[in-house]
Amino acid sequence: MSRVQLEIFLGSILIAVTGFILLYVGFNEEKRMEEFVRYQAAQKIEVGAQLFEINCRGCHGLRGEGIPGLAPPLNDAHFFQARIAEVGWQGGLEDYIIATVSTGRQVSTRPDLYPGAGSPAMPTWSDEFGGPLRKDQIETLAAFILNWEATATGDVELVQIPSSEPSAEELADPVARGLLLYNQSGCAGCHAIEGISVGAVGPNLTTVGDTAATRIEGYSAEEYLRESIVNPLAYLVEGYDDLMLKNFADTVSDAELDDLVAFLLAQR
């Protein structure tokens, strides 16, 4: 076999192999793209879950169950089946979520049930309107919330995971009880405490046990904290808006207020 014949033979084999590879890739491309789309969707939901944990759970609950008197549930059948009709939204639910998160909500649509965190009822989150989140981040939040639809509407049932409720011994400590109330009342969604919460809407409380005594002349740290909880307008920390609930005096008992103050005093 001459050199030219050998080159033609090897070239023919190479062309055949290349053709086979292209055929194989072509037959599997649709499946590969479907898997890629699923992967991308899963990635968006995962990122959205992290953002929800950081920014939203304090008002809407860890699992989207809502917090009475503060913010409505997002993980329920009404939200998926009736919410956009209730508010007269002409688009789809995803667009509604993105628009609401982006611009916030100046006035609660159900003030008898959810007065919100003050005025506005829900802060603006999009950086286009002065908030902290980019457009793509808000889209991942929407993807995470929409992922609840199957369970919220009863199409899929999940096994209940036991919650890690504090023990009776732990709850004997007022600071532990205050921490529980801090999380349950939505404080964690607006305030950051290192190692506990990462909210960014309200002042950082990591060392509030020390700084509270410096806020209002003549007030002790305990007096300032009590006043701030029951009368948030008494003093606004510079750089923060009036967004805190005004009904804590009506929704927490004196004993619960004592526990919450004890927890905050311990943050030094």
Closest alpha carbon to 235 in 222, 249, 217, 209: 217
Over residues 188-199, the pLDDT tens digits come to 767 888 888 877
Whole-number percent of the chain with pLDDT over 70: 89
Domains of the chain (ranges plus CATH)? 3-152 (1.10.760.10), 170-265 (1.10.760.10)
| Backbone φ and ψ of 211, nearest 5° | -75, -20
Over residues 11-27, the pLDDT tens digits come to 778 887 787 777 776 66
One DSSP character per residue, 221-257 reads HHHHHHHHHH-GGG---TT--S-S-S-HHHHS-HHHH
**d(Cα 143, Cα 132) in Å, to the nearest integer?**
18
Most confident of 13-27, 84-98, 120-134: 84-98
Does the pLDDT value for residue 70 go beyond 70? Answer: yes
Most confident of 12-16, 67-71, 138-142: 138-142
Report the pLDDT averaged over residues 89-114.
90
State the average pLDDT for the chain.
83
Amino acid letter for position 196? I
What pLDDT does 161 receive?
Answer: 45
Closest alpha carbon to 183 in 70, 77, 104, 46: 70
Residue with tokens 């009776």: 168
Question: What's the pTM value of the predicted model, to 2 decimals?
Answer: 0.57
**d(Cα 212, Cα 49) in Å, to the nearest integer?**
33
Report the pLDDT averaged over residues 54-61.
84
Does the pLDDT value for residue 156 go beyond 90? Answer: no
18 vs 100: which has the higher pLDDT? 100
Closest alpha carbon to 55 in 118, 155, 131, 146: 131
What pLDDT does 69 receive?
Answer: 78
The band of 226, judged by pLDDT with boundaries at 50, 70 and 90, is very high
Does the pLDDT value for residue 213 go beyond 80? Answer: yes
Cis? peptide before 120, omega within 30° of 0: yes
- Look at the chain and count its residues: 268
**Host H or E run for residue 127:** none
Over residues 163-185, the pLDDT tens digits come to 455 667 777 899 999 988 887 77
